Amino acid sequence: MPAAIDHAARRIALAEVAADLVAAGGAEAATVRAVAAAAGYSTKAVTHYFADKRALMLLTYRHAALSSQARTDASQPAGSGDAAALLQALLPTDPRTERDWRVWFAFWGLAIGDREFAAEQRLRVREFVGRIADCLAADPAFAHLADQDRPAAASALLAALVGLVTQAIFDPESWPPAQQAAAIDAALARICGAQTAV
C-alpha cells in the first residue's frame, strides 16, 4: 500500500524551494520547471499543487508572510508588548529573514501589474500596520499614545522598517546588524518624542 502523502506539507516544502530560488534569482527564476528540478520532483508533481507559476508565487509570498508572523509572535513577551522586539524580529540579520524579504520584494514587483497580487499586498500591509498598532497599545513604553494616534504611528514605523530593510538588503556593508537595531530604536524614539511633545 503506498504511503500517505501530506499534501499541505508538500505545498509548504515547494514554497520553501520557490522562496530560495526567488531570493537567489528573482521571481523569474522560480518557474514550475525550476522548482520541480530543485525539489527533486517531476514537473507534473508540482503542477498537481500549483496550476501555474502565478499560483506558486502567491503561495510562496503567503508562506513568507506567515514566517514573518511566526517570528514577530515569538518576539513578544506574554501578556505585554515590545514594539522594538517586534520590528527587530524582521530585520534581515539572518539568512532566513533576508530570504523572506527578497521574496516580498519580488512579489511587490509582480503586484504592480496584477490586481489580485496588489490586493494581497495591500491586505498584508494593513494587517501588519494593525499588528504594530496592537503592539504599541500593549507596550508600556507607548502607554501615552492615544488610541487615534496609534495607526499613524504604526504606519510610520512600517515605512521606517521597509526603508531600512531595503538599504540593508542592497547595501549590507553599510548596514550591519547593530546599525539596523539602532535605526529601529531611533524610529521608535521619534514616535515617542513626537507624541510627548504634543
Residue type for 198, please? V
pTM over 0.85? The answer is: yes
How do residues 50-104 score in pLDDT, each as one tens digit? 888 888 888 899 989 989 999 999 999 998 999 999 999 999 999 999 999 999 9
Give me the residue label for grid cell 496609534.
Answer: 150
196 or 139, higher pLDDT: 139
Under 8 Å between Cβ of 144 and 136: no
> Hey, where are the domains in the chain?
7-197
How far is CA 119 from each of CA 45, 113, 122, 124, rounded to the nearest angstrom?
29, 11, 5, 9
pLDDT average, residue stretch 16-33: 91
How far is it, in rounded angstroms, from Cα 156 to Cα 186? 12
User: By mean pLDDT, which of 3-12, 18-27, 28-37, 125-134 is the weakest?
Assistant: 3-12
Considering the chain, what is the average pLDDT of its residues?
Answer: 90
Per DSSP, the residues of 38-55 read HHT--HHHHHHH-SSHHH
Above 70 in pLDDT, residue 3?
no
How far is it, in rounded angstroms, from Cα 39 to Cα 71? 25
**Which residues 6+ apart lie within 8 Å of 34 measured at CB?**
21
**Which residues 6+ apart lie within 8 Å of 151 measured at CB?**
129, 130, 133
How far is it, in rounded angstroms, from Cα 83 to Cα 76? 8
∠ Cα 149 64 107 (to 5°):
85
pLDDT average, residue stretch 157-176: 96
Under 8 Å between Cβ of 14 and 39: yes
What pLDDT shows up at residue 89? 97
Above 90 in pLDDT, residue 38?
yes
Domain 7-197 in CATH 4.10.490.10: no
Under 8 Å between Cβ of 127 and 154: no
**What phi, psi does 80 have (nearest 5°)?**
-150, -170
pLDDT tier at 194, thresholds 50, 70, 90: low
Going 117 to 123 to 126 to 128, the CA torsion angle's sign is negative
47 CB-contact burial (10 Å; exposed 0-12 / middle 13-18 / buried 19+): middle
